[in-house]
Structures are given as structure tokens and as C-alpha cells.
Structure 1
């Protein structure tokens, strides 16, 4: 499923009409009909429904939806917000079809107060006022209408995007319809995955309106939401004749006296995700922590000073026996580490997280020249701010753009964590992860994800598939856990123990 900006969606619509040959009238009929199919179970015969219609294509969709609702006997009032002469183009065509079918409209401009008097009596309000081209403060009369809608007790259903909300990241707005649910047309917009915008969508679903995949590809759409079926079919099966060497030889470097649990969580997560052979390189002072919690891993104790791995012992590591390395969880910042020199000549997979990102940020210039596509970094917003020289607020407002730019500039795969984690690869492709919940907003969650990514990428023919699957299953495990416990009580260890069940549920389609 593609994720688009408003401008990209307009390009796709235009290509569909001009190059593929589906007329705008047909496309609008398809959009309204697809939305109706998702709405019809909500609008009961006893419901009293208002459809608020604007001047653009969003309003045209509203006419199609209302026509179908009325044809099945629903009690629906259509309120046209702008003066009638403002309804033009294809929206006008569908208004004429609607009225020619014997249905009537109410005009807001004739008596604005009439709508405001009527709103408290509706049990359902369908928002078809403003589409994806809106940005900035709402103008009269939409500003007042939005406030009245948000203050009503009716169930509010937005079509494609809540009125007043921008479609892409960093868009400004003062207020927007606060929908209970949104029927997204064909492809979700960026703001469905970004806060605070996402709060306005409510529960959202996607209505397929029949735009061919070719239109998305021709218009350069390169961002997708990772779907369950894609994960289910791409998680590799264990071979009947496989052995421990078949599933990757991994090395995890990290841990310190202050943060011994981080490297333990990463190690346990990698083991649970299926790594064949795993070694943990860690300060000799905390060797017992990992041997006591992850008996299946071998350990490589390193000289330490002030509880952290010394620069010399890290630089002296022989990486040649390993297919992939994860570095950073809990390793600390007291000693200077040159990751560029450490991984120079290493041809395997590298995953860098946590304190490893701090050391990476100090030598980014060296990495720009290397452009190693096999390097995966997993920053949270604060770490992404450190890497880019931006503020956390700037990162959160530009999650799509900043992660893509960093990935393409440095030739790395970027896993920008957070609500709806975004994965960007060096070719500029992006994926949004739909799983996960606030139970993961807890120390140790990132450490577990690092171990999962290392293990899953080592077992996949295409490492990016492994990364995407690890992110998805990490969130899925948390989603399953909160079905039986409060999200505040979930720990990173709980998530690790849930991995086997999350993976099994994908194959058995139990969840």
C-alpha cells in the first residue's frame, strides 16, 4: 500500500485520467462508491446523518456517497457549504446526477444558522468539505463549522482526510475536523502516520478506488506501508537440512557497567529471532550478566576501563568470522571509538544503535565517502537530531524527508523509530510500519529491536526484507501483549518472550 503526499496523489489522479484513460467522472464515482461500501454498515436506517459538502472533489465524492445512502433508504441531509455556483467541474456533474436522481440539497449560504441549529440532532456527520490541498488556518465559514462538528455528539466520518488537516509532513494548521474514523481514498497520506495530525483521523481504513499500480510507479511513488501479507510471505522458512551456520554468524558489541542489561536484551532478542551462532563482545566486568541470561550465546570479554570497553580492545577485534555485527547498546561514551576504522574492509552487515550512533555522529564525514548500503542505523528522534544537527521538533515534523535524505546521502538504511517507524534505504525507498503501541515507549525496546534486525537481516536473501520484518514483528509482539495486559506494564523482556508467538501467528494467521 502506497503512502503519498497530497501533491503526489494529484499527480497520480492526473496520470490515471490523462495516460490510462479513466475519466474523472468515473474516478469520482468509483471513489464515492468505495467509500459508501465502508460507511453503509455504520449509517443505520434509524440514523440521522448529515453530509457536509465543499466545492472541490471531496465534495463530489460526498454527492456519490449520499446518493448511494439515500438509494438504500438512509435518512440523510446534504448540506452544501459554499454557494451553489462554486460547485463546478466533475463535482458539479455528480451534484447534477444526485439531483436528477430525485434527491434534494440544503444550502448553508441561504441560512447559515439553520445548519448550526440542526447539527445537535444528527447521530452521524460525514465530512466531505475540504480535501488534500488545504494548509494553514481555516477560513470562514469552515472554521466555525469545524468547531461545531467537533463539539457535537455525532459520530464523525471524514472522507479521505479530515477537513482542515494538511496531507504532508510539516504542514501548518490551526484546527481540523476531529474524526472518529476516516475513509482514506486509495492511499493514506503522510499525516496519517505523524503526530499530532494522526489524532484527527481516528480509526482509518483504505477504500480501493481502482487506480492502477502503474500510475503510482509512473509518478514516482516510493513510499509504502508494510503490509501483514508481505511479512507473512517473506519470513524465511527453516531448511530441513539447515544447520547453525546456515542462519548467520552474528556479533553484538556493547554493554557497560552502568548499562549491562542493554547488551543482554539485544543478545536475547537476536537469539529469539533465529540467529544460528551469536557472540556477545562486552566488558569483562559484566560477562556474568549475559552468560546468566543468554546461555546460548558465546561471549567475548574485552578489556574495560571505567566500566566501558577500551578503545584499544575494540580496535583490536577480529571481525572476519562474522556475517553481521550489531554495535552500540549500552556501550557508553567515555572512550573515543572510530567505527569507520573498525568496519573498514568488513564486508558483512552492520547495525548501529544507541551509543554507537553517538560515536558515528562524530565521524560522519568518513561515512559519506564509504556509502555502505549494508549499514543499518536505528535512531530514535533524539538520536536522529544528533546525527542531522536538527532539533527533535524538526525531526518529528520532517520524519519522511530527513530520514530519506540521510539514507541517500550516507548510503545507509535508516530505521527512524517512533510511532509508525519509518525505514528508508539508500535508493530513496521508504516503508512505514503500522504495528506497535505505547507499550514500546520504555527503556530496552530499542535494544531488542537491534537484536531482531541483526538476526532477521542475516537470515534474509534481501537484508531490507529482514529489517522490515523485524520492525513489523517487534510491533506485532507488543500489540499482542496489550490484548491481555495494560500497556504500561509491558517490558522489553516481555516483548522478547512474545516474539515466538508473534512469528507463529503470522504463519498460522491467528492474530
Structure 2
């Protein structure tokens, strides 16, 4: 499912009207009807509904919604917040149809106290004030109305976006806190970046039938869902063996952080890697080896608890290399990262390897094989010479630009993790929760993603599937036995089998079988 910016959506509307030939009136009617259909499913028949309509397209959608709800016998009052002479174009046409249908709209000006009383008695409030039309500081009476909406106990349904939420994300001055957001045709970027996303509540998509051709040439951003994972996650042939599923090297660990590389290696094994070798400083070899017997080890010369220099790879051949968990920020650790970047295999860098990568960008840009970087916002800020706040304000833009500039696949972690490819494609994850907000979670993702690089032919699919399964494993834990507070990174590893079972169904991942249908986890 495509995700769009505010500018994208305006362009899609223009293309739909000017090139395809669907009129603005028809678009508004379709939007209002599609949104109303979803509201009829959610709002109880006996509920008292207040629809607040602004001046633009969002307000016009609200007018159509009010008419459709009334036609179904619902108890609805439609309030026109701007003066009537400010309502123009398709919205004015929708208002004319509304009134010719025998329904009365109430003008806000002069009836402010009455609206406040209606809001206090309402069971449901439909916010059709601003939608994606927020541009600059909020004006009155919208600022005051947003405050009054947020004071009520009624369920709040926002149309397209909660009023006050920027379509492209970023800082929020003041905004409606919606229980449900019914977005028109395509979800907007603001629904997937914080703090904007925290105002949206549950996200529903009202498909209004805009032809895909209207979005041709626009940035290719989309949600990565369960259906996508089921379609692209590899199946195993009956004739496969350990060599079939790849040889992975995981490099990391230090005397202070011996567990991070263990978590990554265990996650890789749980995620299907055929053979995993864990490269660690020799001073922690015994510690790491005692945690799981399934891996092989590459003890490497150490100094002061860290790698002393390059790894003793010899003529060992690996299908992919992951580096970074627990690595440290010493000169010897930097030498390891530089050595890894010079290998002619797919490489994944995380944690301290990203710290060193910021100083090795020329080498990274020269690589011919795929490179995957998995930064959190602070690490992304170091890579780009920016700040974590600036990264958070423009997650889509920052990740897309860096991927294009370096040729790397960027996994910008956080709520709604974004995977950006060098060719401009971006995928937004739909799983995960605050259960992952704990040390070690990123190391687990490193292991899953590295294992998937060995098993997928398409890098973007590999990384998108890894992020999805990582979040799914955590979500399954909190559905079953855990709270958001108590999940450990090692718990997530042990939940990976449940995540695979959720995706594969009864087939268990065997080639030639189809999974059971399902629609949970988006």
C-alpha cells in the first residue's frame, strides 16, 4: 500500500482531475462515501454525532459524510466552522447537495456556545476541519476548537489526518487526538512519524478508486504487510542442506559487551542461516562459546578487551558479513570495520560499526556488493552530520537521501521502521511495539537481517522481511505471556519460531505449499 506526502496527494488529485478526467466533485463524493461507509461500521446507530467541517477539501469530505450518515438515519449535526463565503469549489457543491437533500447545516459563527454544548453531549465527533491542509501556525477558531475536541469524552474520528497534524510529519503545535483516523486513498507520511503518529489512533484507509496511474512518477513508498512477507519469504526445498542457506560471519563483542554479538549470532541461527561463524576478541571467546554450541568461532587477537586489528580471515569464504554488536570504538575496532567493508560480499553494519562507518563513507560508496546500515536516529545523525531531532523530523527524507548518496540500504529504526533502498524505494514496517525499547533488540535485528541476506535474492525484500519478523516476534510475546515492560532481547529470539509459524501457517516453510490465509498484523 502506497504512502504519500501532502504534496504527493495534491499532485495525485491534480492528475486525477486534469489527466484522467475524474472531476473534483466526483472525487469528493467518493471520498465522503468511502469514509462514511467505514464510520457506519464503527459508530453505534444510536450515537449522537457532531461533524465539524472546514473550508477546504477536508471540509467538503465532512459535508458528504454528514449527508450519508443522515441518509442512514443517524443522529448527525453538521457544523460549518468557516463563513459560508469561504467554502468554494467542490466543497460548495457538496454543501448545495446536502441542503437540497433537505438537511440543515449550522453556522459556527454566532453559535459558538451551542456547539460547545453539542460537543459535551456528543457520542462521536468527526473532525473534518483541516486534513492535510495544515500550513504554518494554527489560526482561530481552529486552535480553540482543537482544544475543545480534546477535552471531550466522545470518540473522535479524524478524516485523512487529525487536524493540526502535519501531513509529512515533524513537530506538532496542537492537534486533535483521534481514536480513529480514516485516511483518504493513501496513508500520509505523518501517520508513520512521531510525534505526529501518536495523534492518529487506529488507522483505516478509505479507498476512493483513484487509478494507480495518477501516482506514476511519484516517490515509491509503501507499507510492508503480512501479505508481502508471505509472498516473498523463501521456502525450503526438501533437498536443501546447511550449505544451501549460506555461511554468515558475525563480528563483534568486547570484554565490556560480550553479549551483543551472541544475541546477533543466535538470532541469525534462529532465522535460518545455514552456518554461522562468530568472530570475537580472543579474551571473550570462552564467554561467547558458552552461550550456544551451534555456532563456530573465530577468536581474534585482542587488546584491552577489544579487537586489536583486522580479523584473521585467511581463505575463509562467507556469503555475508555482519559487524558491529558490542564492537567498541577503538582503533582496532575501526580496522575491523574497514576490513569488512573491503570484502566482496553483502555486508550489514550496526551499532559501533556505524560509528566507524561515519569516517569510512568514501569506502562505503565504492562498494559493489550490497551494504545494509541499521541506524537508530542518533546513529543516523552521526552518519549525516545532523542531529537526532532533525532526523526524527524528516525520517523519510533523511533515509532516502542517504541511501541514494551512498548506495546503501538504510534501515532507520524506531516506531514504523523505514527501509530505504538506493533506487528510491522505501518500505514502512507494520509490526513491533514499545516492547523492543530495550538494549539488545537491535542486535537481534542484525542477526535476522544478516541471515535473510543469505536466503533472499532481493536485498530490499530480505531487509523488509527481517524488520517485519523482528517486530512480529515481539508482538506475539506481548499477546501471549509478556507485558511491554518485561520483554528481553533473548525472549525475542525465542519468539522467532512463533513468528515464522504465524507467517508460514501449517506448511512450516516447505516449498510448494501455500500458507493459511490471515489478516492480522496488517
Q: How does 1:223-262 map to 2 (within 5 A)?
A: 223-262=221-260
Aligned residue number for residue 417 of structure 2: 421
2:248–2:276 Cα contact (<8 Å) kept: yes
Alignment of 1:86-485 (within 5 A): 86-170=86-170, 172-216=171-215, 218-311=216-309, 313-314=310-311, 316-318=312-314, 321-336=317-332, 337-338=334-335, 341-343=338-340, 346-368=343-365, 370-372=366-368, 374-484=370-480, 485=482
Conserved 8 A contact 1:136-1:174? no
Q: What is the Cα deviation at residue 329 of structure 1?
A: 0.6
In structure 1, C-alpha distance between the alignment counterparts of 2:462 and 2:362, rounded to whole Å:
28
Whole-Å separation in 2 of the counterparts to 1:438 and 1:382 = 18
Contact 2:374 2:411 in 1 (8 A): yes
How far did 1:215 drift? Answer: 1.7
1:14-69 CA distance string (max 9 Å, x none): 11122222221221111111111111022222111100011111111112111111
Q: Tell me if 1:502 matches 2:491.
A: no
Deviations along 1:304-345, one digit per CA (max 9) or x if unpaired, are 11111111x42x424751110001110111234246751465
SS of equivalent residue, structure 1 residue 499: helix
Q: Secondary structure at the match of 1:274?
A: coil
How far 1:225 sits from its partner (Å)? 1.1
Q: 1:150 to 1:137 in 2, by over 3 A?
A: same
**1:99-134 Cα shifts (integer Å, max 9, x gaps):** 111111111123222212322111111011112121
Residue pair 2:418, 2:429 contacting (<8 A) in 1 also: yes
Secondary structure of 1:77 counterpart: strand
**In 1, Cα distance between equivalents of 2:369 and 2:299:** 29
**Worse-superposed segment, 101-110 or 248-257:** 101-110
Task: Give distance in 2, aligned partners of 1:89 and 1:303.
Answer: 73
- Separation (CA, whole Å) in 1 of partners of 2:341 and 2:323: 15
Give the structure 1 partner of residue 10 of structure 2: 10
Asked if the contact 2:169/2:191 (under 8 Å) is kept, the reply is no
Cα distance, 1:294 vs structure 2: 2.4
In structure 2, what is the Cα distance between the partners aligned to 1:481 and 1:344? 36
The runs of 5 or more residues in structure 2 that have no matched partner are: 506-516
Contact residue 457 and residue 464 of structure 1 kept, 8 A? no
**Shift in Å, 1:409:** 0.8
- Tell me how far apart the structure 2 counterparts of residues 373 and 400 of structure 1 sit (CA, whole Å): 24
Question: Distance between the aligned counterparts of 2:287 and 2:19, measured in 1?
Answer: 63
Aligned length: 506
Alpha-carbon distance change, 112 to 249 in structure 1, aligned in 2, over 3 angstroms:
same
1:37 and 2:37 aligned = yes
My pick for the range that moved more, 259-268 or 111-120, is: 111-120
The equivalent residue for 2:81 is 81
Query: Structure 1 residues 235 and 319 mapped into 2: Cα distance closer, same or farther (>3 Å)?
Result: farther
1:197-248 CA-partner distances (Å, limit 9, x unpaired): 11111111111111122222x2413111112100111110001111111111
Cα offset, 1:440, TM superposition: 0.4
Structure 1 residues 345, 391: closer, same or farther in 2, change over 3 A?
A: closer
Which segments of structure 1 move beyond 4 Å, counting only runs of 4 or more? none
In the TM superposition, residue 292 of structure 1 has moved relative to its aligned partner by 2.3
Q: Which secondary structure state, in structure 2, belongs to the residue aligned with residue 156 of structure 1?
A: strand
Matched residue SS, 2:127: strand
Does structure 1 retain, via aligned residues, the 8 Å contact 2:342–2:367? Answer: no
Distance 1:18 1:339, change over 3 A: farther
C-alpha contact 2:370 2:409 (8 A) present in aligned 1? yes
In structure 1, C-alpha distance between the alignment counterparts of 2:133 and 2:257, rounded to whole Å:
48
Identify if the C-alpha distance between structure 1 residues 428 and 339 changes in structure 2 by more than 3 Å, giving closer, same or farther.
Answer: farther
User: Which residue of structure 2 aligns with residue 63 of structure 1?
Assistant: 63
CA distance 1:505–1:83, change in 2 (3 Å): same
Per-residue CA deviation, residues 55-111 of structure 1 (Å, 9 max, x unaligned), is: 111111112111111111100000011111211111111111111111111111232
**Does the 8 A contact of 1:44 with 1:74 survive in 2?**
no
Sort the Cα spacing of 1:324 and 1:241 in 2 relative to 1 into closer, same or farther, 3 A. same
Partner of 1:40, secondary structure, is helix
Structure 1, residues 253-304: CA drift from partner, whole Å, max 9, x if none? 1111111100100000000000011111111122223322221111111111
Normalised by the size of structure 1, how large is the TM-score? 0.96
- TM-score (structure 2 length as normaliser): 0.94
**Deviation readout 1:148-173 (Å, 9 max, x if unpaired):** 11111111100001112110133x54
Structure 1 residues without counterparts, runs of 5 or longer: none
- Aligned mates of 2:211, 2:103 — CA distance in 1: 32
